[in-house]
Amino acid sequence: MPTLRFHAIKETFDHQPIKIQETQKRSEFYAENVFDENTMRQYLSKDAFLGVKNAIEHGTKISRSIADQVAVSMKDWALSKGVTHYTHWFQPLTGATAEKHDAFFEILGDGFAVEKFDGGQLVQQEPDASSFPSGGIRNTFEARGYTAWDPTSPAFIYGTALCIPTIFVAYTGEALDYKTPLLRALHAVDDAATDVCKYFDKNVKKVHSSLGWEQEYFLVDKMLAASRPDILLTGRTLLGHSSAKGQQLDDHYFGAIPTRAFNFMRDLENEAMLLGIPVKTRHNEVAPNQFELAPIYEEANLAVDHNALLMDIMGRVASRHNFKVLLHEKPFAGMNGSGKHNNWSLSTDGGVNLLAPGKTPMSNLQFLTFFINTIKAVHTHEELLRSSIASAGNDHRLGANEAPPAIMSIFIGEQLTKVLQELEGVTKGKLSPQEKTELKLNVVGKIPDVLLDNTDRNRTSPFAFTGNKFEFRAVGSTANCSNPMTVLNTIVAKQLKDFKAEVDKLIDGKGLKKDEAVFNVLREYIKSCRPILFEGNGYGEEWEKEAKKRGLSNNKTTPEALKGRISKQSLELFEEMGVLSKIEAQARYEVEIEAYIKHIQIESRVLGDIARNHIVPTAVKYQNVLVENVKGLKEIFDKDFKKVAKEQLGLIQSISTQIEGINVNVTNMINERKIANQIEDLEKKAAAYCNAVRPLFDEIRYYCDKLELMVDDELWPLTKYRELLFTR
Ligand code: ADP
Ligand code: MG
């Protein structure tokens, strides 16, 4: 009797919904544990407050004396809330968040003890971080890493620790984290977009990039999850026959949320609220036990931090509700995978969304400028954008007949397609007064401020315009949003910079009026980036063929896709925009390719173990039961025995066939792994894992899943799909 599975199932009967008290309005405790502007006004002197505010808004340096004041105030505030420790909170290249807690507590000599925290400790720390991946940048002897305060993301309290968001860089200056290049990219897009805005509004001083993420996830009972070694070690099921009932009835999507999950969500949302994460939307997703959570969008750096923080607290809150959160892109074969849509837009310090159509022809020309430049940026750098979302987990979605495809394309809807078609016809050079009037009144002037298409969206598109923002849907559910946000903002920054140069050239060189010049450049852009626009079904085979004709990339696996990160074009782009030096970009590439290799290696080992040491012995055990049965039948029936024992004999034989299938393929897989492990070159090694090791997963799984349908349920050791997916 496989005790663990049945023990786990029995335990789930005791897992009742946990009661959640909600007596206060959310607005009353929103950001209560954040050292935000409101708190700072109460705790800081005027000088200190202005110092921090200037740093946030204009990137000015914070002096040591101001930092000291801020530190003391932060400490006082934190102590008043029962906090004992502080930590620099950062996002190393592992993708997770990192923290190392130090107590405020200090001994002064003479036996006196106090709570202390000064500006030095606030501004900079040196965590012993030699075990974080650096892609070879940080040799422990040459260059240690340090964390430095990022005042643009406010400190917050989690548990009994004051967490201070920081960047993580080597002493030689190279970024060792996700936040540093993101901040650089946001700076680049601010500069470039502000310059372009000035064509339309001289008063614009700053442009923010906004991000609104939508996080999909699965909830599985904690005990059931613990009973599966694959979930425990890889975050997904490596085998398991599909459940008779899955998502085919579409009865989960937007359905009533099961009580236990509902209470988990409320608990999580309350925690998020305290931390200033403005969570807003919750609903069931397509697959059973799959859900989604989305906040109100925020400034991109803050939103990225909030998503990283949320993914972390999700796990902790889930545990209280006897759940395990699965953030993996594909926890269950045959079920919907999980993604993280990144809704992105740009807005001015005056609060104007640059990707929202306006009410006047001028504001619409501004909208079209940013809209078309974004399209052009994505077209020019589609391979780099694809690389920004590459991971072993996301390979199960992209390019695997699931939403969305690995081919980057943009959906803009019927109305805007028409607008672009009309703009394509704009005369070259100077425009006649009639044409200008016609353009302003009937093309630009007629863009409705509510675009109908955004309700009728093409769900198969990886990058869709949804009325007042672009939605990048191909991001993986486990991903740190920094990578895609860094790339998106960098390519748009570069594109806007080039646009500005081209428009200025027409104005200064050819004597064109500003709007004539803008129309002229946009017209050429529309012509050149037509291949990236696609309104059809992104899942079909026809699109793959069509995309190839259009010259779009279709990088289905991580090793292929990651190459887009270190192409000559990408390296030059990162360098020109001041986002990543060649060394940094190369190092990141190495970190990610290595992470890919390790993921596949771990999955391969776990699968080999489960198949050989759990499944095969179980199959043999059941086969022995059948053998005993057949022996008994032979004793009783003698001559007629073959007829009576026909099914059993067939089963015995079939079990042997499956066992053979497992063993042969596991042996092959181990051999392929050995060959791959000998390869020094990372790129070739990753290719070996991808093309020689990984395909054997499906083979092994095929035989294991067949056995699941043959072997006595009482003997089966692994918790089944129906149990994992329908226990709630
Ligand atoms: P969906 O139907 O895809 O769930 P929603 O309209 O609910 O789309 O919005 C999804 C996300 O888009 C939310 O997180 C929301 O905050 C965000 N969002 C809305 N407007 C913007 C914007 N201008 N910039 C960035 N994100 C935005
Ligand atoms: Mg969405």
Q: Would you state the pLDDT for residue 361?
A: 85
Which of 320, 415, 433 is CA-nearest to residue 19? 320
Which of 728, 695, 718 is CA-nearest to residue 287? 728
ipTM of the complex: 0.94
Distance 217 CA to ligand 2 centre (A): 14
Q: Which residues of the chain have pLDDT under 50?
A: 140-141, 455
> What distance in Å separates the CA atoms of residue 517 and residue 504, rounded to the nearest whole number?
8
Q: Would you state the pLDDT for residue 345?
A: 98
**DSSP H or E stretch at residue 340:** strand 340-348
Task: Please state the atom number of ligand 1 nearest to the C-alpha of residue 214.
Answer: 14
Distance 76 CA to ligand 1 centre (A): 37
Distance 326 CA to ligand 2 centre (A): 19
Distance 686 CA to ligand 1 centre (A): 36
Task: Please state the atom number of ligand 1 nearest to the C-alpha of residue 211.
Answer: 25
Residue nearest to atom 26 of ligand 1 (CA): 212
Instruction: For residue 308, give the amino acid letter.
Output: A
Which of 222, 213, 149, 260 is CA-nearest to residue 480? 213
Distance 329 CA to ligand 2 centre (A): 16
Task: Please state the atom number of ligand 1 nearest to the C-alpha of residue 343.
Answer: 26
Distance 210 CA to ligand 2 centre (A): 15
Spatial contact of 261 and 728, defined as CB atoms under 8 Å apart: yes
CA dihedral 322, 328, 334, 340 (to 10 degrees): 110
The ligand minimizing its distance to the Cα of 281 is 1
Give this prediction's pTM: 0.96
Handedness of CA 504, 509, 515, 521 (dihedral sign): negative
Q: Is 364 left (phi over 0), alpha (psi -120 to 50) or beta?
A: alpha
Using a CB cutoff of 8 Å and minimum separation of 24, what contacts does 350-355 make?
350/201, 350/203, 350/204, 352/201, 352/204, 353/468, 353/469, 354/193, 354/197, 354/207, 355/465, 355/468, 355/469, 355/470
Task: Please state the atom number of ligand 1 nearest to the C-alpha of residue 294.
Answer: 14
Tens digits of per-residue pLDDT, 95-113?
Answer: 889 998 999 999 988 889 9
Third-level CATH fold of 595-726: Four Helix Bundle (Hemerythrin (Met), subunit A) (1.20.120)
The ligand minimizing its distance to the Cα of 370 is 1
Ligand 1 binding pocket mutation candidate from 297, 340, 459 (most atoms within 8 A of CB): 297
Distance 214 CA to ligand 1 centre (A): 8
Distance 345 CA to ligand 1 centre (A): 10
The ligand minimizing its distance to the Cα of 470 is 1
3-state secondary structure of 512: coil
Distance 469 CA to ligand 1 centre (A): 8
Distance 591 CA to ligand 2 centre (A): 30
The ligand minimizing its distance to the Cα of 339 is 2
Q: Taking CB atoms and a 6 Å cutoff, what residues make up the pocket around ligand 1? A: 210, 212, 214, 281, 294-297, 341, 343-345, 353, 468-469
Q: Would you state the pLDDT for residue 141?
A: 46
Q: Would you state the pLDDT for residue 1?
A: 55
> What distance in Å separates the CA atoms of residue 332 and residue 400, rounded to the nearest whole number?
14
Domain at 187-233+247-580, CATH class? alpha beta
| Strand partners for 293 | 215, 282
The ligand minimizing its distance to the Cα of 293 is 1
Q: Would you state the pLDDT for residue 543?
A: 93
Distance 684 CA to ligand 2 centre (A): 36
Taking the domains of the chain in order of start, what are their residue ranges? 31-177, 187-233+247-580, 595-726
Residue nearest to atom 17 of ligand 1 (CA): 212
Instruction: For residue 251, give the amino acid letter.
Output: D
Ligand 1 binding pocket mutation candidate from 343, 458, 469, 473 (most atoms within 8 A of CB): 343
Tens digits of per-residue pLDDT, 41-78?
Answer: 999 999 999 999 999 988 899 999 999 999 999 999 99
Which of 508, 679, 682, 518 is CA-nearest to residue 133? 682
| Strand partners for 464 | 411, 471
Task: Please state the atom number of ligand 1 nearest to the C-alpha of residue 292.
Answer: 4
| Matching fold, domains 31-177 and 595-726 | no
Spatial contact of 307 and 217, defined as CB atoms under 8 Å apart: no
Ligand 1 binding pocket mutation candidate from 186, 207, 214 (most atoms within 8 A of CB): 214
Task: Please state the atom number of ligand 1 nearest to the C-alpha of residue 345.
Answer: 24
- Please provide the CATH number assigned to the domain covering 31-177: 3.10.20.70
CA 402 distance to own-chain centroid: 16
Distance 341 CA to ligand 2 centre (A): 6
Task: Please state the atom number of ligand 1 nearest to the C-alpha of residue 281.
Answer: 7
- In sequence order, the 6+-apart residues with CB closer than 8 A to the CB of 628 are none
Please work out, in degrees rounded to the nearest 5, the angle formed at the alpha carbon of residue 52 by the alpha carbons of 48 and 53: 115
Give the DSSP letter of residue 117. Answer: -
Task: Please state the atom number of ligand 1 nearest to the C-alpha of residue 344.
Answer: 25
Residue nearest to atom 1 of ligand 1 (CA): 214
